[in-house]
Amino acid sequence: MSATFLPYGRQAIDESDIEAVAEVLRGDWLTTGPAVDAFDAAFAEAVGARHSVSCSNGTAALHLALAALGVKEGDTCVVPAITFMATANAARYCGAEVAFADVDPDTGLMTPETLDAALARAEGTARVVLPVHLAGQCGALDELAHAATLAGAVLVEDASHAAGSFYRGEPVGNGRYSAAATFSFHPVKTIAAGEGGAVTTNDDAVAARLRLLRSHGIERDPARHRRQEGEPWWHEMHALGWNYRLSDIHAALAHSQLKRLPAFIERRQALARAYDTALQDLPDTVRPLARTRACNPCLHLYPVRIDFEAAGRSRSAVMDRLRAHGIGTQVHYIPVNEQPYYQDRYGRQDLPGARRYYERTLSLPLFVGMADDDPQRVVDRLAQVLGL
């Protein structure tokens, strides 16, 4: 694949995926059918959680998780400044406020120290802490959970990047440190559903609430109806929910992809090692993402830290020249606290770790369809573009 354009990420679809979707298309259920339940059961087993509740996308997963936990107006959710804006937006959908935590400038992750500072700013209103597993890598979940508990809050892991990652030898999403974990199955993620998401939890009541809210708050179980009419069409709306269901078409694709997760993990880790090796020959002005000790990540992204000022090149110029060489890159992410909506709401905030991380980050291509020599090719071109 070295002669073709390398995007920063893309899906890996094979004939087994196509056949899985075709089987649904030949059947009776395109939505609200058995493929959804089958995927939910398989994903829960894969991450070691009691429940997995799938939904339409990763943003919906975040919203559902917070809503199922009862987050409301008057509450505060702590969110790292380096993330996709959906992490913060989900809190606002519930009427809660957002306290932005600074991050380690070399990992982009919330730390126990930056969490403590954000909790202090929340002044006792923190209800949920949302650590983001940026690029697929976890921070100190045990320490973050302890700090959240002391503040009267719970952890909800934004694991949108982290399907296939492990923390202290256990799968991310198993609920050891959190009330829930949310996942995304967007095409560039490790598992693709086209669009899709899931929430995992070990709490039976939270799982029941998730299932209720993802389908308009409608209850169809006669045993749970407040009114017994005896009509087979009877249903009751018990909460104000949303149409966040995953279709059987998307669930079939995600389930097929899940069966290949071990191979995806192995391939992504091999490509990441190839990048790590290739980058060793470059000066310290270009470094890979710093790694945390307790996490064995299946990287969704491969961010590097580049001192663009020292190289005398702007990031946009580097990206343009790499694209001319057939290499796509992206920036993950602009600090969310600097988005106009959040600046208008909370004013300007000084989060130097997030600013430093953002100024240097650039995501290089990483997807399972890359050739063995593609990481070296990318690093060679990057060095050339930077004049190294």
Which positions are annotated as active-site residues?
189
DSSP code string of 168-197: TTEETTS-SS-SEEEEE--TTSSS--SS-E
CA distance 274 to 279: 9
Q: Which residues of 58-97 are buried (b: 16+ CB within 10 A; e: fewer)?
A: bbbbbbbbbbbbebeeebbbbbbbbbbbbbbbbbbbbebb
d(Cα 388, Cα 382) in Å, to the nearest integer?
9
**Residue 267 and residue 299: Cα distance in Å, rounded?**
10
Which tokens in the block code for residue 205?
Answer: 């009541």
Q: Which residue type does 155 have?
A: L
The CA–CA distances, whole Å, from 73 to 42, 62, 93, 97, 347 equal 35, 16, 10, 7, 20
Cα 190 from Cα 254, distance rounded (Å): 10
H helices of 281-373, in order, are 308-311, 315-324, 340-346, 352-360
| Residues in a beta bridge with 198 | 54, 183
- The helix/strand/coil state of 229 is coil
